[in-house]
Amino acid sequence: MSLHPSELESTDMNALPSAAVRPGAPAPAVSRVPMIGLLRALLLAEGIGTLVLTIVLSMGAAAQRDLLGGDPGRVAEESLRFAAAGAFLFSIFAAIASRGARRRRTWAWTLAAILQVILAVGTGVAVMIAAWHPVFLIGFAFAAVVMLVLSTGSVRRALGQA
């Protein structure tokens, strides 16, 4: 018995008809939102920045342990390693939020907004603990710029918030 190629698509081991997939079928059109690209770039920049911060904090933890020695060195090392772990988690979640924004997931808007609050609070804690340095303004600036991008109408509509 010889089957026509169109009949082969509908016969399989389960004997259930399957939908024929056309190889050249175009994907559904998705309108481009330039602000989503900017949001993704900012989130990835935050992720890369906090990954670099993770490395710096880990190196600083080892240096503090060797510099102070004993119990004070151990306490300083643990504190810096804890901060490095938080920065590492932040970088992972920033990458996840960027990916979600690319795929236009509604949770990406919420995750990005929560990350900006965490970034601002973390920078504020760093300002209170460490001596003031102008580099702390980078954390506040990133949080403010990303929140401004998140609040634009096109990003809110694209991510299902309006």
Q: Which of 124, 96, 121 is nearest to 110 (CA)?
A: 96
- 35: its two tokens: 């602000």
| Chain mean position to CA 121 | 17
Confidence (pLDDT) at 121: 96
CA distance 118 to 147: 12
Tell me the pLDDT tens digit for each residue of 112-142. Answer: 999 999 999 999 999 999 888 899 999 999 9
User: Exposed, middle or buried by CB within 10 Å (0-12, 13-18, 19+), for 147?
Assistant: middle
Higher pLDDT among residues 26 and 156, named by residue? 156
Whole-model pTM: value is 0.77
Decide: 50 and 88 in contact? Cβ < 8 Å.
yes
pLDDT surpassing 60 at residue 12: no
Q: What pLDDT sits at residue 9?
A: 53
Rounded Cα gap, residues 145 and 130, in angstroms: 24
**Tokens 């900017």 label which residue?**
38
Percentage with pLDDT > 70 across the chain: 81
| Predicted local distance difference test score (pLDDT) of residue 73 | 84
Higher-pLDDT residue of 21, 101: 101
Confidence of residue 27 (pLDDT cuts 50, 70, 90): very low
Query: Is the per-residue pLDDT at 64 higher than 50?
Result: yes
Calculate ∠ Cα 88-114-106, nearest 5°: 110
